Chain A
Amino acid sequence: MKPASFDYHAPATLAEALELLGDDAVESRVLAGGQSLVPMMNFRLAVPEALVDLRRIEELRYLRTGADGALEVGARTTQAELLRDPAVAAGWPLLHAGVTHVGHPQVRSRGTVCGSLAHHDPHGELPALALALGATITVAGPDGRRRIAAEDFFVSFYEVALESGEMVVEARFPAPPAGSGWSFREIARRHGDFALVGVACLVAPAETRLVVFGAAERPLLLADPGEVAAAVRPLDDLHASAEYRRQVAVQLAGEALAEARERAGG
């Protein structure tokens, strides 16, 4: 239960971090909050040659509202910082509610929002929330920056649309349109455990975004609960059978849509 040997860097700037990550001779990984990476290293499921720790990069430590009203979350911002911000609770109640289900306070104190997106556990709350809220993920690499829509970012189990040498620098969550309603529901063995299945739903005047997670290799964006049964591809595992997950997904989707519509005021 001890990690293998590795080299450690804690650069002070993003430019230095990108330079380290761009060195093809060394297999390096970003270390953000370490709440997924360190367990994997302790089990030796991950054996990186070097870690690039983001902890000293002040330019990535922000949580702010951009010019277009979107919430901009820098790569160093922790889940606890997001939960403590009253502007997030007021303006992005779906995001706030969903993140309260991520682990425990002692995990959210270090786990980052962007790290959870980059890690992409399909049972994780943040990828589903990003998809429901129409977030974009800004990544930086040797060829500069690009923005990727959440729809295109989550590829498969623990796989995202990052190229070699790239890292996530920011997640942007657009402000939910006026008159929208939301709902977040999940079934987990205990509060703070990964969800067996969950649903994040945003009902806006112009569109309904219903996201089912824990039921396929990535979160699924659907428009109607009627699509859930056919769309999900749940797995059988120790925690629950595929059939159970399918039934719960259908049930939660219906409940979440009704609740989101009610909050939207009709």
Chain B
Amino acid sequence: MADPGGEREVRLVVNGVERVAAAEPRLLLSDFLRHRLGLTGTHVGCEHGVCGACTVLLDGEPVRSCLVFAVQAEGAELRTVEGLAGEDGELGPVQRAFHEAHGMQCGFCTPGFLISLTALLEERPGASEEELVDALSGNLCRCTGYANILAAARAARDQAAERA
């Protein structure tokens, strides 16, 4: 009999590129991205859904990649922080706002904030202050005290609203 918990192939699209790699059912999507696909921009903090560092876009929705098994993402379309910059490596608009407003210190939490904010602004480019806070409330930062993160988020929102 085949090993019931053994590896199987997982095929998915990450940042527009089709990828295939093996995963045991118990392999978390966060570890699959980091260790199987070498995409280490997605960070792992708590591994139980609380900190938001591992947030990615799965079929357009922000999710905790530490609470999804890689096998569940079979056939899915993922976006990670590596997919936010342009092809030439130029920062995307949300990344630029964080850079300009100094919305980070150590940067550990930053990929999660960038993805959560990207998800919100793609759905609601003119998001209200309340919506900004709600969208980011599931991401923890132990350095900044959040003031500069919110300043960056407002700047990104204002630019998104202008483009919309």
Contacts and interface: CB of A to CB of B under 8 A. Distances in A.
Contact of A104 (B69, B71, B137): B137
Contacts of A110: 61, 63-64, 67-68
Given A35-B49, A43-B48, A191-B137, A106 B55 contact: yes
A205 interface: no
Nearest to A80: B61
Interface string B69-85: 10110100000000000
Interface string A2-41: 1111111010000000000000000000010011001101
A10 B25 CA distance: 11
Nearest to B44: A1
A2 B135 contact: no
Contacts of A175: none
A191 B134 CA distance: 8
Q: Main SS of chain B's interface residues?
A: mixed
Contact of B71 (A8, A80, A191): A8
Given A7-B25, A109-B61, A39 B49 contact: yes
Given A42-B48, A192-B138, A106 B26 contact: no
B67 A2 contact: no
B68 A7 contact: no
A2 B63 contact: no
How large, as a class, is the contact surface on chain B?
20 to 34
Contacts of B25: 5-8, 51
A35 B67 contact: yes
Interface in A93-128: 103-107, 109-110
Contacts of A55: 72
Give 9 nearest A-B pairs by CB, closest first.
A104-B138, A5-B5, A7-B4, A8-B25, A39-B48, A109-B61, A1-B47, A38-B67, A106-B62
Given A10-B71, A50-B4, A105-B134, 18 more contacts: A4-B26, A5-B5, A5-B25, A6-B26, A7-B5, A10-B72, A31-B72, A34-B69, A41-B26, A80-B61, A104-B134, A105-B138, A106-B138, A107-B64, A109-B61, A109-B62, A110-B67, A191-B134
27 contacts: A2-B26, A2-B31, A5-B5, A5-B25, A6-B4, A6-B5, A6-B26, A7-B5, A8-B25, A10-B74, A34-B67, A34-B72, A35-B64, A43-B48, A55-B72, A105-B62, A105-B119, A105-B134, A106-B55, A106-B63, A107-B64, A109-B63, A110-B63, A110-B64, A190-B137, A191-B134, A192-B137
Interface of B: 4-5, 24-26, 28, 31, 47-49, 52, 55, 58, 61-64, 66-69, 71-72, 74, 116, 119-120, 134-135, 137-139
